[in-house]
Protein backbone atom coordinates (compact mmCIF):
# COMPACT_ATOMS: atom_id res chain seq x y z
CA UNK A 1 0.00 0.00 0.00
CA UNK A 2 1.20 3.52 -0.77
CA UNK A 3 1.18 5.82 2.26
CA UNK A 4 1.79 9.56 2.27
CA UNK A 5 3.97 10.57 5.22
CA UNK A 6 4.01 14.30 5.84
CA UNK A 7 7.38 15.11 7.36
CA UNK A 8 10.34 17.31 6.64
CA UNK A 9 12.59 15.09 8.77
CA UNK A 10 14.62 12.62 6.69
CA UNK A 11 15.62 10.65 9.81
CA UNK A 12 11.97 10.08 10.77
CA UNK A 13 11.18 9.07 7.20
CA UNK A 14 14.06 6.58 7.20
CA UNK A 15 12.99 5.03 10.52
CA UNK A 16 9.36 4.82 9.39
CA UNK A 17 10.36 3.14 6.11
CA UNK A 18 12.40 0.53 8.01
CA UNK A 19 9.45 -0.23 10.31
CA UNK A 20 6.67 -0.13 7.69
CA UNK A 21 8.57 -2.37 5.26
CA UNK A 22 5.46 -3.74 3.53
CA UNK A 23 4.29 -0.28 2.49
CA UNK A 24 5.65 2.27 0.05
CA UNK A 25 6.13 5.60 1.79
CA UNK A 26 5.71 8.74 -0.24
CA UNK A 27 7.12 11.79 1.45
CA UNK A 28 5.36 15.13 1.35
CA UNK A 29 7.12 17.99 3.06
CA UNK A 30 4.60 20.75 3.63
CA UNK A 31 4.69 23.56 6.13
CA UNK A 32 2.48 22.77 9.10
CA UNK A 33 2.45 25.17 12.06
CA UNK A 34 3.42 23.95 15.51
CA UNK A 35 0.21 23.45 17.46
CA UNK A 36 -0.14 23.51 21.23
CA UNK A 37 -2.00 21.01 23.39
CA UNK A 38 -1.63 17.36 24.30
CA UNK A 39 0.30 15.04 22.00
CA UNK A 40 -3.01 13.63 20.75
CA UNK A 41 -4.54 17.06 20.11
CA UNK A 42 -1.42 18.20 18.28
CA UNK A 43 -1.12 15.19 15.99
CA UNK A 44 -4.83 15.21 15.13
CA UNK A 45 -4.67 18.93 14.26
CA UNK A 46 -1.54 18.35 12.12
CA UNK A 47 -3.14 15.41 10.30
CA UNK A 48 -6.31 17.35 9.59
CA UNK A 49 -4.38 20.32 8.22
CA UNK A 50 -2.14 18.04 6.12
CA UNK A 51 -5.25 16.40 4.61
CA UNK A 52 -6.75 19.82 3.87
CA UNK A 53 -3.57 20.90 2.06
CA UNK A 54 -2.97 17.65 0.15
CA UNK A 55 -6.59 16.60 -0.45
CA UNK A 56 -5.66 12.93 0.06
CA UNK A 57 -5.14 10.45 2.90
CA UNK A 58 -1.89 11.01 4.76
CA UNK A 59 -0.26 10.63 8.13
CA UNK A 60 1.89 12.74 10.41
CA UNK A 61 3.77 12.01 13.58
CA UNK A 62 4.91 13.95 16.59
CA UNK A 63 7.48 12.90 19.15
CA UNK A 64 7.63 13.99 22.78
CA UNK A 65 10.26 13.69 25.49
CA UNK A 66 8.52 13.72 28.85
CA UNK A 67 10.01 14.19 32.33
CA UNK A 68 8.05 12.48 35.10
CA UNK A 69 9.30 15.11 37.59
CA UNK A 70 7.68 17.79 35.44
CA UNK A 71 4.33 16.02 34.90
CA UNK A 72 5.21 15.14 31.31
CA UNK A 73 6.88 18.39 30.22
CA UNK A 74 8.59 19.28 27.96
CA UNK A 75 6.47 16.70 26.10
CA UNK A 76 5.39 17.91 22.65
CA UNK A 77 7.27 21.18 23.26
CA UNK A 78 10.64 19.41 23.17
CA UNK A 79 11.67 21.20 19.95
CA UNK A 80 11.49 24.57 21.67
CA UNK A 81 13.30 23.27 24.77
CA UNK A 82 16.07 21.94 22.54
CA UNK A 83 16.25 25.21 20.63
CA UNK A 84 16.31 27.50 23.66
CA UNK A 85 17.99 25.34 26.33
CA UNK A 86 20.01 22.93 24.19
CA UNK A 87 20.41 19.19 24.51
CA UNK A 88 23.55 19.61 26.64
CA UNK A 89 21.71 21.60 29.34
CA UNK A 90 18.39 19.74 29.20
CA UNK A 91 19.34 17.01 31.73
CA UNK A 92 20.47 19.68 34.22
CA UNK A 93 16.85 20.85 34.46
CA UNK A 94 16.31 17.67 36.48
CA UNK A 95 19.29 18.11 38.84
CA UNK A 96 18.30 16.65 42.18
CA UNK A 97 14.93 15.49 40.86
CA UNK A 98 13.56 12.22 39.54
CA UNK A 99 15.32 11.61 36.20
CA UNK A 100 12.77 9.09 34.94
CA UNK A 101 10.79 9.89 31.85
CA UNK A 102 9.47 8.56 28.60
CA UNK A 103 9.49 9.13 24.89
CA UNK A 104 6.17 9.17 23.10
CA UNK A 105 5.46 8.88 19.38
CA UNK A 106 1.99 9.90 18.25
CA UNK A 107 0.67 9.24 14.75
CA UNK A 108 -2.35 10.86 13.17
CA UNK A 109 -3.71 9.17 10.04
CA UNK A 110 -6.19 11.29 8.11
CA UNK A 111 -8.42 9.02 6.02
CA UNK A 112 -10.49 12.09 5.27
CA UNK A 113 -10.78 15.59 6.70
CA UNK A 114 -13.25 14.30 9.28
CA UNK A 115 -11.85 10.83 9.97
CA UNK A 116 -8.52 10.99 11.75
CA UNK A 117 -7.16 7.97 13.56
CA UNK A 118 -4.66 8.12 16.40
CA UNK A 119 -1.87 5.67 17.26
CA UNK A 120 0.71 5.94 20.00
CA UNK A 121 3.90 4.27 21.17
CA UNK A 122 5.70 4.88 24.44
CA UNK A 123 8.98 3.75 25.95
CA UNK A 124 10.00 4.48 29.53
CA UNK A 125 13.53 5.26 30.58
CA UNK A 126 15.74 7.85 32.19
CA UNK A 127 17.20 11.20 31.25
CA UNK A 128 21.02 11.26 31.44
CA UNK A 129 23.94 13.45 30.39
CA UNK A 130 24.75 13.83 26.70
CA UNK A 131 26.51 11.01 24.89
CA UNK A 132 26.56 9.09 21.62
CA UNK A 133 26.01 10.24 18.06
CA UNK A 134 23.68 12.99 16.94
CA UNK A 135 20.82 11.20 15.17
CA UNK A 136 17.86 12.78 16.91
CA UNK A 137 18.98 15.33 19.46
CA UNK A 138 17.32 13.91 22.54
CA UNK A 139 18.37 10.36 21.61
CA UNK A 140 21.66 11.55 23.13
CA UNK A 141 20.13 11.91 26.63
CA UNK A 142 17.62 9.02 26.82
CA UNK A 143 18.34 5.47 28.04
CA UNK A 144 15.37 3.09 27.73
CA UNK A 145 14.53 0.95 30.76
CA UNK A 146 16.26 -2.42 30.65
CA UNK A 147 19.15 -1.07 28.56
CA UNK A 148 22.51 0.45 29.33
CA UNK A 149 22.92 2.52 26.17
CA UNK A 150 21.39 5.78 25.05
CA UNK A 151 19.27 5.59 21.89
CA UNK A 152 22.10 7.50 20.19
CA UNK A 153 24.57 4.75 21.14
CA UNK A 154 22.42 2.00 19.63
CA UNK A 155 22.47 0.98 15.99
CA UNK A 156 19.36 1.93 14.04
CA UNK A 157 18.38 -1.76 14.09
CA UNK A 158 18.76 -1.98 17.89
CA UNK A 159 16.73 1.18 18.42
CA UNK A 160 14.02 0.13 15.97
CA UNK A 161 13.45 -3.14 17.85
CA UNK A 162 12.27 -1.29 20.97
CA UNK A 163 11.55 2.35 20.15
CA UNK A 164 8.50 4.48 20.75
CA UNK A 165 8.28 5.00 16.98
CA UNK A 166 8.31 1.24 16.37
CA UNK A 167 5.48 0.75 18.86
CA UNK A 168 3.38 3.51 17.28
CA UNK A 169 4.03 2.30 13.74
CA UNK A 170 3.24 -1.30 14.74
CA UNK A 171 -0.14 -0.14 16.00
CA UNK A 172 -0.64 1.83 12.77
CA UNK A 173 0.47 -1.17 10.69
CA UNK A 174 -1.96 -3.50 12.52
CA UNK A 175 -4.76 -1.09 11.61
CA UNK A 176 -3.63 -1.00 7.95
CA UNK A 177 -3.56 -4.78 7.73
CA UNK A 178 -7.14 -4.96 8.99
CA UNK A 179 -8.33 -2.38 6.44
- CA dist 88 and 141 (Å) reads 8
CATH assignment, 2-178: 3.90.950.10
The model's pTM is 0.92
Are 115 and 136 within 8 A, CB to CB? no
Percent composition of the chain: helix, strand, coil (DSSP 3-state, to 5): 40, 25, 35
* Span 45-68, pLDDT tens digits: 999 999 999 999 999 999 999 999
Instruction: Please check the confidence at residue 134 and state whether its pLDDT lies above 80.
Output: no
Amino acid sequence: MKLVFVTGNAQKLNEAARILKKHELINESIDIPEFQGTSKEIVIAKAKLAYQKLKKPCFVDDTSLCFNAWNGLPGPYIKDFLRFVGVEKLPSLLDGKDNSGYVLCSIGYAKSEDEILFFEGRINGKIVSVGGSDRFQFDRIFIPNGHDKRFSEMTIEEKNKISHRKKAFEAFNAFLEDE
